[in-house]
Structure 1
């Protein structure tokens, strides 16, 4: 038997704020919260579902006292599904994200951003259907 990737844990100062940002960004919902933690997902996981097949992991935000140090060693990549990359970047900026430079250089077809606590993520090419010209 194998293991399943069930949660991606993000250390942070304010789990509620970060969970709210990522819920809005990804159209996720809070599925659990407790002392210093908030878990969000696109589905309501059950042990039976996870044992039966690989399911999308949840995001778990845990309160920690220390600050983030340096560039993330792991980051999320997002692909807009119903708008252009530029429109999605504008939407994420309005939600509280910022654009950031991690040394990616000019002329890339993705945008590097940071969530409200500075965790980097990328917005890639759109997956929205393209209009025929």
Structure 2
């Protein structure tokens, strides 16, 4: 017997605002049976193409240390640099640039300080792999 992950949960100060921000980042949607609204203490967003769900739950304490688990995002329709620019323009903060010629990532933080990474797009990754061959 095994367990399956039901959803990823993010503790936060403002569940609605953070769910709206991540919905825009990921292209996820609200649960049609329970749409998110301002003032909701729990907000769920769904991947329209698959089973992944992210739940935002309000907690009283502020974030105080580095995340022990985080998202690694791989842009699908733009380059890594273009995605980083887009995310910073909508409120992400750049924390660390760990890019190399053959890969790497950039660590950003969402509006509440939760860290996440942006990897190369599949096309960029394929080009790096082809250059190695």
Same fold (TM over 0.5): yes
Alignment partner, residue 37 of structure 1: 42
In the comparison of the two structures, how many residue pairs are matched?
A: 119
1:51-110: CA deviation from partner (whole Å, max 9, x where unpaired): xxxx63310000000011210000000000111100000111111111014xx7674721
Matched, 1:90 2:85: yes
The runs of 5 or more residues in structure 1 that have no matched partner are 45-54
Q: TM-score, normalised by structure 1?
A: 0.79
Contact kept, 8 Å, 2:23 with 2:45, in 1: the verdict is: yes
More contact order relative to length (CA 8 Å, sep ≥ 6): 1
The runs of 5 or more residues in structure 2 that have no matched partner are 128-133
Kindly state the Cα deviation for residue 4 of structure 1 after the two structures are TM-superposed: 1.6
Alignment partner, residue 109 of structure 1: 104
Alignment partner, residue 48 of structure 1: none
Alignment partner, residue 64 of structure 1: 59
The residue matched to 2:55 in structure 1 has which SS? strand
Kindly state the Cα deviation for residue 43 of structure 1 after the two structures are TM-superposed: 3.1
Partners in 2 of 1:115 and 1:128 — Cα distance? 25
